[in-house]
Amino acid sequence: MIIPFILEKAVSLYADKEAVVSDGQRFTYQQFADRAYGLANALRSMGIGKGDRVAIMRQNSHEYLESYFAVAQIGAILNLLNFRLSPEELALILKDSGACLLITDRRFTEPVKSLMKLETDLTRIIWTGKGESLTLAESVDYEDIIRAGTGSPPPMPLISDDDVAHLYYTSGTTGRPKGVMLSHRNVCTHALAAIAEFRLGDHDNWIHAAPLFHLADAWATFAITWVGGKHVVVPDFDPPRVLSSMQQEKVTITNMIPTMLNMLVNTPHVESYDFSHVRTILSGGAPIAPELVKKIIETFRCEYIQTYGMTETSPYLTVSILKERLSRLPTEEQFVYRVKTGRPFLGVLLKVVREDRTEITADNNEVGEIIVKGDIVTKGYWNQPQETAQTIKEGWLYTGDMAVVDGEGYVNIVDRKKDMIITGGENVYSVEVENVLYSHPSLLEAAVIGVPDPKWGEAVKAIVALRPGHKATEDEIISHCKQHIAGYKAPKSVDFVSELPKTGSGKIYKKGLKERYCPDPKKS
């Protein structure tokens, strides 16, 4: 199965149905497809063909969705760029991918000017948005080429399931970014599994609030289109705008990372919005505290599903959907499973193993590393066979995530392997401590890291942000933690900040915190 078939099926069944709502514009599936095919024809006329890399850097938009399908239609590879990166970081990625064309928005004029002074293979730029096209490389206007292209699909080259469709770059252990290669098979297999797991259909309205350059949201581009659902697109994450869009467009389901959901449920007057159409809220991309899950369920009054995955796995590996037997448990007992990392996603073979690769005991106590295989798993990193060999061994992808497994087969992540803190010979998992911190009524955000300590080797440090109008002292927070977890797990120190640093996808940037607080390079 290949990506172009997804749009073809949607048009055959839902041509006149509303497909996309984006920044005041509305498109039916036929209109959306015509635009995607127009872009594909334009790219083809520029000499872009099978295997060529096309980069995109812009905020969420209908143009983003169109690009996902247009580039796949001609067998080219879409290189997704995080627009929050510096020009130097972007240039490294573009040079590695070999992208020759960039689709971007005029709001990024200044970064693009800087980028074009650096070494890349870019020769063409397609500009979206209003304003004049700059004479940087060979510049053209997005809407001009859409109008010039025909509405019919261009001739499709012979595309294999295993051909690379997308390049998503993640940070590498050596500092060099790694291009995760996702094939048509990876993307389509994941979309079909998501349709089955989340019971997606043409009744669903999905809001793209998380960035489309990140797989926390991008996978829904294909799953929602396949079933004829509606895409509601917001360009930037602004909590009041997201909430009002959810109300106005009668959003039924979405996925966001915990920091975004935390901001939504703490938005002033959130209780005044109508969420009666919301049936499911998914959370993924980072661990989430049980206290936040309770607030999500209280606010949206819908089913909550925890998800876990990686860019390398398209992304989902587990979901906290309850087995039928578990769904008959009392509400409080159900909640124990809903906040776990979850059971394996459809089509995923998952194990939690010891260092010797034997499986751990399913006693909800022994900790091991999650390893996985399946058709959603990447075949490796672009131009990096050594990194690929270190991550994928004998067909199994080693995630670096440490977890326990219970008797029901539900896994629960306790930490990243590299984030585990060893203090006085004892293992402390930052996620466990963070969950306790989030239960403190005055804390809005929290992160836990290990810092060098002459006595204990490492000491537990918490970095926290308080809710507006709330107060708390270091001693109060440490005391709160000691009431709920062993003393050696509690923070030895607490730093207060106005806001925790975030990555481009909105996750708390732990690597940055470690670089700031920990001079030991092994911990950064």
Query: Which pLDDT tens digit goes with each residue over 428-439?
Result: 888 889 999 999
From the list 282, 314, 40, the residue with the least C-alpha distance to 154 is: 40
Q: State residue 174's pLDDT score.
A: 47
* Averaged pLDDT for residues 128-145: 82
- Give tens-digit pLDDT for 288-302: 889 999 999 999 999
Which single residue is written with the structure tokens 């906290």? 320
Question: How much is the average pLDDT of 398-414?
Answer: 95
> How confident is residue 233, by pLDDT bands cut at 50, 70 and 90?
very high
What domains appear along the chain, each with residue ranges and CATH number?
A: 3-14+23-185 (3.40.50.12780), 237-416 (3.40.50.12780), 421-523 (3.30.300.30)
Tokens linked to 59: 């905020």
Element (H, E) at 271: none
Residue 281 makes CB contacts below 8 A (sequence gap 6+) with 253, 254, 255, 256, 261, 296, 300, 302, 303, 304, 305
The residue-averaged pLDDT of 125-134 equals 83
Calculate what percentage of the chain has a pLDDT beyond 70.
97
Contact between residue 237 and residue 213 where contact means Cβ atoms under 8 Å apart: no
**pTM of full prediction above 0.85:** yes
- Tokens (6 digits) for 156: 């499709």
Residue with tokens 């918490």: 462
Query: CA-CA distance, 282 to 220, in Å (whole number)?
Result: 12
Residues 24, 62 contacting (CB under 8 angstroms) = no
> Side-chain half-sphere of 459: how many Cα atoms within 13 Å?
14
The model's confidence at residue 134, banded by pLDDT at 50, 70 and 90, is: low
- Between CA 397 and CA 388 the distance in angstroms is 9
Integer Cα distance of 495 and 92 in angstroms = 34
Assign 167 to helix, strand or coil: strand
DSSP single-letter state for residue 359: B
**Can you give the pLDDT at residue 249?**
98
Q: Are 427 and 367 in contact (CB under 8 A)?
A: yes
pLDDT in the model for residue 519? 62
Give the type of residue at 205.
Answer: N
Q: How confident is the model at residue 524 (pLDDT cuts 50, 70, 90)?
A: very low
Pairing of strands 303-309, 280-283: parallel
Q: Is residue 218 over pLDDT 70? A: yes
Kindly state the tokens that stand for 167.
């390049």
Q: Which residue has the higher pLDDT, 25 or 517?
A: 25
Q: Averaged over 100-123, what is the pLDDT?
A: 94
Three-state SS annotation for 121-137:
CCCEEEEECCCCCCCCC
Examine the pLDDT at 458 and tell me if it is beyond 90: no
